[in-house]
Amino acid sequence: MDLDLNKFRTLVPINALYENNLMQLAKHARVERFSQGDKIFSHGDTGHNSAFLMSGSVKLLSSQNTELQISAGTTAANYALATRFDVYVTSETAKVVWINRVLLERLLAWGESYSPDGLDVEEGHHHGPSTMDSEWMMAMLQTKAFLKLPAQNIQTLFSRMNETKVKKGDVIVKFGDNGGFYYMVKKGRCQVSRPTADGEEVLAEIGRGSSFGEESLIAGSPRNATITMLTDGILMSLAKKDFIELFNEPIINWIDSIEIEHMVQEGACLVDVRLEAEYENSKIEGAINIPLGAIRQKGSQLDPDKKYILYCDTGQRSSTAAFLLNQMGLDVYVLKGGTYNS
């Protein structure tokens, strides 16, 4: 790793992270070297990334020709280089470390909500998360759905989750049962299956960082698969009311029929998530049909550069589909009420 960890630990607000979380962030940091005269970035050109100066000196130049000088090792260099400037290297060489700002914010939020089970009563301070906790949490925070959550929701969500140790062969959810919890796999592997006339059909295997149970919670429908542990493991669970409040609602973009007209004209694609027979009976011109049951499979075939507007009859199935497509990183909207007359 071409990164000075001692200096990395002094950066603000990275220095507020627990050590294991800091090390996980360091693994995802990108170090870049520059020469004198190079432009590190232009005003507003860093996206979701922050740049910290690790060595050398730079010049920050505003559009009004205001100029600032920053050198590594100074107090100013402990903070990210301001994105409202163009930044040029003034020393012979310089080194910058790039950090995903969104990921950092979520790490900070999660650290603030870390379980007080690790409180050291005698010393009067919290121990940080274990390496396994940090690795699992990092995997979850980098999923597409988590990246869309407000930091405050991340903090509250982790504080409301419960950890459960499970054994190989344990049935976590059963096909046809009512759903009460959303699950994330912290450790171990699970089998996803569904009963058939001939016995059982295995649909998939999932492992650490995977989640399940959301469809039943959002749509209020029975479980559509059985989840069985293939190994001993650890699951994190979130009650239905907390899931809806903290996880589902914030990442669903609800729109009305007036907004749809404009978005379709701009190139958005209408998606009917009802069954094929329902779609054929009352389809909207120009809409494509991807039944809710096929969203996981066919969602990966959709164009990530397009916007998608989902509808059904009530909004239940379309909001479920939106959650799943959001996890894939697609730009998804849901029609309020579920119906639409073009």
Q: How many CB atoms lie within 10 A of CB 262?
A: 10
Let me know: does 7 contact 54? Beta carbons within 8 Å. yes
pTM of the model: 0.57
Q: What is the pLDDT of residue 109?
A: 66
Q: What pLDDT score was predicted for residue 47?
A: 81
CA dist 232 and 172 (Å) reads: 12
Cα torsion angle, 290, 292, 298, 303, sign: positive
244 CB-near residues (< 8 Å, 6+ apart): 217, 218
Average pLDDT of adjacent 10-residue blocks, the chain of 342 residues: 88 88 89 96 87 96 89 93 93 96 77 48 48 74 69 75 94 92 92 90 89 80 91 93 77 83 91 89 88 86 93 82 84 80 50
Structure confidence at residue 121 (pLDDT):
32
Task: Look at residue 124 in the predicted model and tell me its pLDDT.
Answer: 37
Angstrom distance (rounded) from CA 38 to CA 261: 46
Reduce the secondary structure of 222-271 to three states and give it as a string.
Answer: CCCCEEEECCCEEEEEEEHHHHHHHHHHHHCEEECHHHHHHHHHCCCEEE
In three-state form (DSSP H/G/I as H, E/B as E, the rest C), the secondary structure along the chain is CCCCHHHHCCCCCHHHCCHHHHHHHHHCCEEEEEECCCEEECCCCCCCEEEEEEECEEEEECCCCCEEEEECCCHHHHCCCCCCCEEEECCCEEEEEEEEHHHHHHHHHHHHCCCHHHEECCCCEECCCCHHHHHHHHHHHCCHHHHCCCHHHHHHHHHHCEEEEECCCCEEECCCCCCCEEEEEEECCEEEEEEECCEEEEEEEECCCCEECHHHHHHCCCCCCEEEECCCEEEEEEEHHHHHHHHHHHHCEEECHHHHHHHHHCCCEEEECCCHHHHHHCCCCCCEECCHHHHHHHHHHCCCCCEEEEECCCCHHHHHHHHHHHHCCCEEEEECCCCCCC
Listed residue (220, 118, 218, 108) closest to 163, CA to CA = 118
Question: d(Cα 79, Cα 148) in Å, to the nearest integer?
Answer: 25
Enumerate domains of the chain plus CATH numbers. 5-102 (2.60.120.10), 161-248 (2.60.120.10), 252-335 (3.40.250.10)
HSE of 294, CA atoms in CB hemisphere, 13 A? 13
